[in-house]
Structures are given as structure tokens and as C-alpha cells.
A and B are shown apart, each in its own frame.
Chain A
Amino acid sequence: MILLDISKLYDFSFFFNQQVILDLISGLFCTLSIAFFGIIIGIIIGIILAIGKLVGNKFVRGVVTVYINFVRGTPLLLQLYMLYYVPAFIWHEMSGASLNWSNYIVGMLAVGLNSAAYVGEIFRAGINSVDKGQFEAASSLGFDYKTSLKLIIMPQAIKNILPALGNEFIALTKETAIISVIGARDLMFYSKQATAITYNPFTPLFMAGILYFIVVYSLTKGVSIIERKFAND
């Protein structure tokens, strides 16, 4: 009895299936662009969250804390589904029409909003890592909070923030694979589809794995270069 057709494991015949290859490449670009725009959204909203937590009043700090704890305390998959179904449901209840958000946009928002919570904490921790005496010295010279942050604190915090941001970007790039479940056409989506087209579960997934790995490994190298640069000065 043959349990496994070993030849499937090294069946690279789908290389000759032009459509599959093109799909995987377009999936790769989708993954990269989701990761890129996701981190941009994450950084912009993350900075707002960090500022809210550092200088906001009680209410603002409360809202930010709840947001950050919710995002970090629940699965990304749940957040993705919430963003995919809840606004569409509310929209439908209110206007009777259906909401035509592309799953690409929903995926990007979910990844970005999720990342914002982590980025916010990265910024806050980076700022808090700077010796309190630096703030006091700046204040005692007459600098207001904003100027102290800009001229004195951020230039010192950045060496902790940048590597952590890089690591967040790496984690986020891998996590984007989850958006395939709502039908966004990323690398994961097309590699699953290829297994169906070629009746081969192994090689397309293996290909996708290699592509993810190349991207993530290059990013890891980039982050360690940044880390080393800051460690030197």
C-alpha cells in the first residue's frame, strides 16, 4: 500500500504553469504592500497612541489603554473578522446597501490597526527609556514638553525605537498571511490556490515559504545593521 506519493514532494512541474507563477508573484507584491502600508498606518496611529498615553488627560489615557490592551489581548484573526463583518453589518443596517470594502483594504487596516498598539508601546517605552534627568535638564533651561521631546528626548530614544520598529515590521510581515482568510489575494492566498490547481500540496507551499523567508531574512539583516550602527555611536 502506498501511503504517500513521494514524487509529489519534488514535483516542480508547476514552474511551467505560467499562471501559477504569475499569481505567486502578484501575491508576493500584495503581501509586501500590505506589510508596508500596514506598518505606515501602525506608525502613524502608534505615535498618536503614544502621545495620548504620555500627555493625554485621564479620559484619553483610558481610551488608549483600553485600545492597546484589547489589541494585544485578542487574536489578530478575531480583529480581522470584526473589521471585515462589523462595519459592513452596521452599514447595511443603517443604509440598507452593502458595503463594498475590498478585502485588500480591510486586511491592510486590520494589520495596521493591530500594529499600532505595538508601535505605540514601542514609542512609549523608547521615550521612557531616556533618563528622566534629560527631561528635567531641558525643562530647567526653559524648553516646553514638545520641544524637549523633539530636541532632547527623541534623538536619544530613537536608537531603542528603530530596532524595535524593525522587529515589529518583521513580525507584521509574517502575520499578513492571515488576511488570506477573508479572500485578500496575498502570497498565502495564491499558494493555497496553487495547491488546488496543481493537486500538489507541497511545492507551492514550499515556494511561498521560500519567498516569505527571503523577505523576512532580508528584513532581519537590515534590522541588525541598524542595531549595530546605533550600538557603535
Chain B
Amino acid sequence: MIKVENLTKQFKKNVVLKNISLSIEQNEVIVVIGPSGGGKSTFLRCLNSLEKPTFGKIYFNDLDINDKNNDINKIREKISMVFQQFNLFPHKTALENIILAPIKLNIMNIEEATKRGIELLDLVGLSDKANEYPKNLSGGQKQRVAIARSLAMQPDVILFDEPTSALDPEMIKEVLDVMKGLVGKVTMIVVTHEMNFAKEVGTRLLFLDSGEVIEDSKPLAFFNDPQTDRAKSFLDKIL
């Protein structure tokens, strides 16, 4: 579904991703972990072309996403993203946040989109907040709306960049629970520091350090028996 070939990303002289190659199959739940500054966000942002690779190619369903002949906006309809800071549209209500893109991008008409939007709010447990503006929602509620918003486009892949890192501890669970509910329905690539989530629902784990995929393994295998010294010292620090 996603194929990464020799992905290298530099910011000026700073090489942030070094020659990464891998492929991702449908309905995988990939957790990406690693030390701060290791390139996790940059990797994720390359997958939907928010960052352009310096070298290498990224294919989504065999389409080169950075090829000018392929409409990146059409591709992004199928690869949505959930951000650490939620990035809800503050001038739109929760429901409007969810239905804006399906309507304006002519995926659904207003009635269909609204019906679907209400279902999605129900799915994330926020039926009663449809007409609230983001400023009146808690962090956990905002992130759940953001997940519903990304689901509204019926994406094949959702990229999560530390979706719970900006949340108070008591709100983390409600967001992770919503994410767990998506397993098997959509391909998920999740940058996270939630190791229990990684163990519980991850089908595959990427350990990213200094721009390299140091380990690519099953989460349980990674935590119980890390193969590299770098992974070992990382786990020592966080566990």
C-alpha cells in the first residue's frame, strides 16, 4: 500500500532521514518510537508529502506521491493525519470540522456528510458536542474530534503524530481507546511514547534513531529482546 524507497531528508546540511526503505501493507498498525529529534515526525510528514524527500521516492498504491503528474491533494484525501496539537479549525463547530472536507471536496452532499458526521461523533463518544466550538472542548475531546475529522474522508491510512503527547494524563486513555477501535479498519502509523499501546495493538514497530530505522520488528519482540545497543539504551532510559 505504501512503499518507501531510499528516503533521505535533509534540512540544509542536517540529514534527518537516512536512506530509509520499507513497505507498509493494508491494515498494519505501525508504531514508530525513538528518541527526540530522531526524525519520527519528519518521516511521518514525508508520507503525506508535508515534507518533500531530498532523495528517494514514496509510493501510495503505486503512485509516486511527489510526482507533479499525480494530484497530491487527491492522494491526501486517502492519507489523513492526526496532529499532536489537534489543529482543529477554531472557527468551525465540532460537526463542521468533520464535514467540511467531505462537502467542499465533493465527496458527499450536505445531508450525507452530516449523517456520517453525527455517526462519527457517536463513534468517538461526543454526540453531545456536535455544536460546540473547539475552544469549549477539553484536549481529549479535541483530539477525538480530530480523529473523527480524519475518518470522515474515509482514508486508507491515518498518520498519528504523538496524538496523546499534549494531553493531561487522565485524557490519554479516552483517545487511545478510540484509536484501538480503528485497528483492522484502517492502516495506522502512530508515532507515540505510549509503550503499552505499542505492545497491545501494534502489529509492527519501527525504532527510529538519528534518521535510521534501527529496528523493524514485532513490538513484543522489540521490548523483550531488543537486538541493538541503541534500542537497549533507549529502553533503559524510558522504562
Contact = CB atoms under 8 A, between A and B. Distances in A.
Interface of A: 131, 133-134, 136-144, 147, 151-152, 155-156
A179 B123 CA distance: 65
A148 B234 CA distance: 40
Interface residues of B, number: 25
Nearest to A142: B77
Interface in B74-109: 74, 76-77, 79-81, 83, 85, 87-91, 100-101, 104-105
Contacts of A156: 90-91
B149 A141 contact: yes
B206 interface: no
B87 A137 contact: yes
B91 A142 contact: no
Interface in B183-197: none
Contact of B91 (A139, A140, A155): A155
A139 B76 contact: yes
B105 A137 contact: no
B80 A140 contact: yes
Given A152-B89, A155-B91, A139 B50 contact: yes
B131 interface: no
A217 B146 CA distance: 45
B76 A142 contact: yes
Nearest to B90: A156
Nearest to B133: A233
B148 interface: no
**Closest 4 pairs between A and B when the two form their complex, measured CB to CB:** A142-B77, A137-B87, A140-B81, A133-B87
A156 B133 CA distance: 14
Contacts of B141: none
B153 interface: yes
A137 B50 contact: no
Contact of B48 (A133, A134, A140, A151): A140
B228 interface: no
Contact of A140 (B50, B88, B90, B105): B50
Nearest to A153: B89
A233 to B, nearest CB: 9
Given A133-B87, A140-B50, A141-B80, 12 more contacts: A134-B89, A136-B83, A137-B83, A137-B146, A140-B81, A141-B150, A141-B153, A142-B76, A142-B77, A142-B105, A143-B101, A151-B104
Contact of A142 (B83, B90, B101, B159): B101
